[in-house]
């Protein structure tokens, strides 16, 4: 899994990432499409170290819970490239 350090305005934990964008327009377009598909609990954080927006659907305190969620991610097309990112602050 990818580890990001010192991400402002994001709590430590394991995030289920749907997509990563470096452009605000692409980020907003992706968010609109995900919400339109029925996924309502989508959010994002910005990592100043990489200058990228990480769009996520859930956050967990441990890797076991994050892995369990990955195994039951369903067939939504936006979940196809889902990955786990750990934030350490």
Tens of pLDDT along 15-47?
999 999 999 999 999 999 999 988 889 999 999
Q: How confident is the model at residue 10 (pLDDT cuts 50, 70, 90)?
A: very high
Residue 56 pLDDT exceeds 80: yes
Distance in angstroms (rounded) separating the CA atoms of residues 87 and 35: 24
**Domain spans, the chain:** 2-88
- Residues in contact with 61: Cβ distance below 8 Å, sequence separation at least 6, in sequence order: 13, 14
pLDDT higher than 80, residue 64: yes
User: Radius of gyration of the chain from Cα atoms?
Assistant: 12
- Both structure tokens of 85: 């990112």
What's the pTM?
A: 0.92
Q: Which helix (H) or strand (E) element contains residue 80?
A: none
CATH of domain 2-88: 3.30.70
């Amino acid at each position: 899994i990818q580890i990001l350090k010192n991400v402002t305005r994001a709590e430590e934990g394991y995030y289920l990432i749907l997509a990563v964008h470096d452009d605000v327009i692409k980020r907003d377009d992706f968010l609109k499409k995900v919400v339109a598909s029925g996924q309502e609990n989508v959010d994002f954080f910005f990592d100043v170290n990489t200058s990228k927006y990480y769009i996520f659907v859930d956050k967990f305190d441990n890797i076991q819970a994050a892995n369990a969620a990955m195994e039951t991610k369903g067939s939504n097309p936006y979940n196809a490239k889902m990955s786990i990112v750990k934030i350490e602050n």
